[in-house]
Amino acid sequence: MHMARKTAPTTTAEETTDSGLPRDRYSDRELSWLAFNERVLDLASDAERIPLLERAKFLAIFSSNLDEFFMVRVAGLKRRIAAGVAVPTVTGRMPRDLHESILDRTHELVAEQARVFNDDVRPALAAEGIHILTWSGLDEDEKQRMSTLFAERVFPVLTPLAVDPSHPFPYIRGLSINLAVMLRNPMTGVEQFARVKVPSVLPRLVPLGRGRFLPLEEVISRHLDQLFTGMHVLQHTTFRVTRNEDLEVEEDDAENLLFALEKELLRRKVGRPPVRLEVEDDIQADMLDLLMRELDITEHEVFKLPAPLDLTGLFALGDVDRDDLSYPNFLPITHPHLAEVETARPADMFAAIRRRDVLVHHPYDSFATSVQRFIEQAAADPQVLAIKQTLYRTSGDSPIIDALVEAAEAGKQVLAVVEIKARFDEQANIAWARVLERAGVHVVYGMVGLKTHCKLSLVIRDEGDGLRRYAHVGTGNYNPKTARQYEDLGLLTSNPIITDDVARLFNHLSGMTAEKRYRRLLVAPDGIRSGIIEAIESEIAHHAAGRPARIRIKVNSIVDERVIDALYRASAAGVPVDLWVRGICAIKAGVPGLSENIRVRSILGRFLEHSRIFWFENAGTPVVAIGSADLMHRNLDRRVETLVGLSNRAHVAEIDDLFNLAFDPSTVSWQLTGDTWAQVSRDAEGHLLTDMQEELIRRTRDRRK
């Protein structure tokens, strides 16, 4: 990509007030994230378009998303409040005021989630023969079987903890489900609190057969007399605590990073302050007061919800064998440029990539017969001398890891840049780093102060007449499992300019160079923000000169103020700006005098939209790039990210078609006006609009035919 590569400092709100743009031009990122999770909840309530078991899964995703939001974002906000760091956000809000607004909005959202589950999804499941029961809903045979299960499988793993003068209130592990029990000693009349942790090693929804399930805490609560023999159970309820779970690792040098991270993971298990308390809505006042006092949590941070708590347990319904209640099965196909024409079998990857660059679009194009096969073939090919690979997140049984191990054991030079600070995947990444090291792979743990988030593979092959390099530059992780669920793009190429850029970037990552200039890549933290802003300014100049000008961007999130201000300037100059944003969007769309020419769309569905695409019309010769970077401070300032330019006209046309489909008025989407989102799923006559992902599946099936 031919864009500027100068490093520019992040602009603060105070610095931009002289730009002529209004002070209130940004939406708050935390409230915008909650608006994104509300869109997930919209899917759970959409009975017309979304199959029933998928709606239950979206309820679970909503809960899982909210857990991480509180563990990281809300916890960080509370930490700033506790430390007395009273610095306003870019929207001008003080941390305490923002925290209160987040809690207010979250109370509304979880109440709506509970309504959708109890009034819509749960009854609909029951009508289809899938029952999430309470103890009273069991027949006598089921009650007897559950009593046997408790005695044989549950009771042995429970550890009831009493609170008395010699036993302080126990540490409550974050996100664990617990029973709070109030007991009375019949001999002394003394009342006593006890806590029972619901074991996570057992299924949360206990299958009873015939599509019937019982939450595990129901089994335990009905047998408390066996846990507390000789005591009277006065009351019991379930509760759940969310704690600060974000990492705080001091990086003195990369050699000590692995050790420091392992220590931090141990420290994470204790001493993390609570940020949310979920309780059953019929909890008695004295029990709630005790929990709030012992956990040092405010009433506003308490969420009273109908049982069962923690709807992430609904993920278990994914194992229910009811194809009629799920999305139709979809089998990705081998990209036609990577298949033998006569047999449709996977082709020789290196011969195919030598013929042309290949743009793969997952999950529609198979990951297994493209990116995974590329690495596996490189590992097995005796002509391959070296493989270099970034790993941010990968699956527990990854064939990518297996291929790198195989290559190293065969004597090839293998470099793996393993990002062990990938949030909540740290433990797994440490384990894989150790496996790779033992196999002889050169493992590098990224760069001090930066996360390595770029998605790169490089293969060096001896082809008789010299060495040739092959590369993959992608938008998604090298994870075969998520590649079937995440929408991502990747470029497979032997273009010598791109592969030289990738080789120099790997040398930079392994510590051999201080490289900052590339010909076909933009690389953060030194070049992506400045390159994108220069491209935006070029579009403004093209429009002023009467040449074709347009900006189209697809990202997971857009927060960076300097990029947003540049887009506002483009809109004011008359440049059409289309933003396709899945999650956080701090830009305001369609505001008179600010962003009349900015359209923002969000698309959610069976696949998680994950690719990042940048399109600049460039007077009729579009500059188009894909890569790993979102438009957030962390991506542009604190991560190693890459964007690669696409030069093949067919690839540019494919990206053009994607944007046209996403912004087509006949496509289901959420549309942003100001800072308010609205779902548009029907046309003026009331007919359902086209689901973009289903349309791409249909095109994929037609291509297979």
pLDDT digits (tens, 9 = 90+) for 124-154: 999 999 999 999 999 999 999 999 999 999 9
Q: Is residue 54 part of a domain?
A: no
Distances in Å between the Cα of 268 and the Cα atoms of 174, 248, 272 are: 10, 9, 7
Tell whether 463 and 541 lie within a shared domain. no
Annotate 415-426 with DSSP letters as a single string.
Answer: EEEE-TTSTT-H
What CATH number does residue 497 fall under?
3.30.870.10
Report the pLDDT value the prediction gives residue 18, as an integer from 0 to 100.
58
Residue type, 702: D
Q: Is residue 273 part of a domain?
A: no
Report the pLDDT value the prediction gives residue 396, as an integer from 0 to 100.
59
Which of 490, 517, 544 is a domain's end point? 517
Tell whether 359 and 310 lie within a shared domain. no
Model confidence band, residue 252 (pLDDT cutoffs 50, 70, 90): very low
Tell whether 313 and 370 lie within a shared domain. no
Q: Is residue 34 part of a domain?
A: no
What CATH number does residue 186 fall under?
3.30.1840.10
Take residue 113 and report the two structure tokens written for it.
């989630």
For residues 447 and 389, the model is more confident at 389
Tell whether 312 and 364 lie within a shared domain. no
Four-point Cα dihedral 278, 282, 284, 290, nearest 10? 0
For 320-361, the pLDDT digits (tens) are 999 999 999 999 999 999 986 545 556 799 999 999 999 999
Residue 395 pLDDT more than 90?
A: no
Tell whether 367 and 400 lie within a shared domain. yes
Rounded distance, CA 299 to CA 276, Å?
10
Q: Is residue 70 part of a domain?
A: no
Say which of 236, 453, 472, 542 is annotated catalytic: 453
Tell whether 413 and 487 lie within a shared domain. yes
Domain count, the chain: 3
DSSP state of 681: -
In the annotation, is 610 catalytic?
no
Q: Is residue 213 part of a domain?
A: yes
Which of 455, 490, 517 is a domain's end point? 517
Tell whether 678 and 552 lie within a shared domain. yes
Q: Is residue 506 part of a domain?
A: yes
Which of 476, 494, 517 is a domain's end point? 517
Q: Is residue 284 part of a domain?
A: yes
Packing angle of the helix pair 29-44, 52-69 (nearest 10 deg): 160
Mean pLDDT score of the chain: 90
Rounded distance, CA 526 to CA 538, Å?
20
Rounded distance, CA 320 to CA 324, Å?
11
Tell whether 455 and 534 lie within a shared domain. no
For 548-585, the pLDDT digits (tens) are 999 999 999 999 999 999 999 999 999 999 999 999 99
Beta bridge partners of 193: 163, 182
Residue 7 pLDDT more than 60?
A: no
Domain that holds residue 187: 115-247+278-324
Tell whether 283 and 413 lie within a shared domain. no
Tell whether 409 and 364 lie within a shared domain. yes
Take residue 570 and report the two structure tokens written for it.
């483009």
Tell whether 558 and 437 lie within a shared domain. no
Q: Is residue 69 part of a domain?
A: no
Tell whether 19 and 162 lie within a shared domain. no
For 21-57, the pLDDT digits (tens) are 999 999 999 999 999 999 999 999 999 999 999 999 9
